[in-house]
Every structure is written in C-alpha cells, then in structure tokens.
Amino acid sequence: MGASIRFNKRLSNNWMLNGSATLQVNKVHYGDTGYLDPTDLWVTDNAIYAPEIGGSSGKVSTPQYQKWMFKLSGLYQLPMDFNVSFTFTARQGNPVFHTMNIVNYDSPNPLDTGASVYLDQLETIKLPDFMNLNLRLEKVIRAGDVGRIYIMADLFNVLNSATMLRRYEKFHGTYYVHDGSFSTNATDFLANEILNGRVLRLGVRFQF
C-alpha cells in the first residue's frame, strides 16, 4: 500500500519547480499454511519485504525498503542569461538484517544440520536517513539563432554529509551446538559505503 503526491510548476516567470512525496508500506503475509519453517515467523510474517539488491564492484547488496521518500528540484533564471538550479532528495534509511547461524551436527536429519536465524525485527536496525542537496550555476551563451553554449558549475553534496549508505549484514557468526563453540564473522556490521564528499565539477555543454 502506498500514496504519492507529485507536483510540477512549468517554466514561467523565470522559474520552475517540481517534486514528489511518497509514503508506502510493503509487507509479507504467510498466513497459516504459507511457510515450511516456522523458526523466523516472529520476524518475517506480517513484516516488511526488503529484497537485497544492488551489490557489485566491491559494494555489498543491501535490503531496499523505505517507508517515505521526498524529491524536490527547481530552477530560477537570473539576469544576463545565468541560471541557478538545485535538486534535493531524502528517504528513510534502509534496514540491516540481524542474524546468526546455528549448526548442530547431532541433528536428527543429517542433511539439515544448520539454520540462519534472525535476532531482531527487520526494522530494529536501520541505516541513517539519507538527505542530499546539489546545486548548479550556469551561464548561457547564445551562438547564432539556435545554438547555445552552457558553462556550468555543479556542487554535489553541498552539506558534505558522510551518510552511511551500505553496511555488511549484522551477522555475528556461527554457533556450534555439539561443542558450544562460536565462530565469529569478520565482516560483522562493517561499513561498506558512505556518501561521496562535497564535489565541485566544472563543465561545458554545446547545443545546436
């Protein structure tokens, strides 16, 4: 279930503005017969659905789920063919799964001696809420009747926020029932990615 509001003020009187706001809930419902193993039902039934996606090039996959999102962008035309514009985005931080493994070599079924179990509700641990502001200043140089040359200066992450974007799963390791030993996980809840720091980019764009 979800609801979104979108608005768009087209360019007139030297300015434009558009944005959107979303509030949503996405849950899984197994019911009385929709599962094979009841171990984690206290966490997973009637709870959020957060598929792990987006892992590549050294970045770990992260559960994707946000109850709320907000986007806003706008532009204002200044005198002498200067334009100033911005984009602002915000969303709830993604959840982090909290788990561990349990292995019992004395299990009645020798083909099934281990299980991964949750230790917290799926939204108990979350990454920080994400907010980011970008700005652009550009000068338009007219070239003939239809040509344009844009000289641009972009400032990304204006607030220089070091928001945590990805962490390894809060997976503590494996507990072995037969001898009471515990093997820790070396990447337990380690940081994996933060938002890039403030960046200034200069550029030129040609339009003919």
Q: Dump pLDDT digits (tens) for 2-44.
A: 999 999 999 999 999 999 999 999 999 998 888 888 889 999 9
- Predicted local distance difference test score (pLDDT) of residue 26: 93
With a CB cutoff of 8 Å and minimum separation 6, the contacts of 84 are 75, 76, 78, 135, 136, 137, 138
Q: What is the mean pLDDT of the chain?
A: 94
Please determine, for residue 147, whether its predicted confidence score (pLDDT) is greater than 90: no
From 36, 121, 128, 40, select the one nearest 90 (Cα to Cα): 128
172: pLDDT strictly greater than 90? yes
Q: How confident is the model at residue 54 (pLDDT cuts 50, 70, 90)?
A: confident
Alpha helices in 20-135 (DSSP H): 41-44
Q: What is the token pair recorded at 145?
A: 């009747």
Query: 83 falls in which pLDDT band (50, 70, 90)?
Result: very high
Assess whether pLDDT exceeds 90 at residue 163.
yes
- 89 with 71: CB under 8 angstroms? yes
Mean pLDDT on 132-158: 93
Average pLDDT of span 146-168 = 95
E-assigned strands of the chain? 2-12, 15-24, 27-28, 47-48, 52-53, 62-63, 68-78, 82-91, 98-103, 114-118, 130-143, 147-156, 164-167, 170-176, 181-184, 191-194, 199-207
Domain ranges in the chain? 2-207
Question: Given a cut of 90, is residue 103 above it in pLDDT?
Answer: yes
pLDDT surpassing 90 at residue 126: yes
Residue 134 is predicted with a pLDDT of 98
Q: Structure tokens of 13?
A: 């009187």
Q: Are 135 and 159 in contact (CB under 8 A)?
A: no
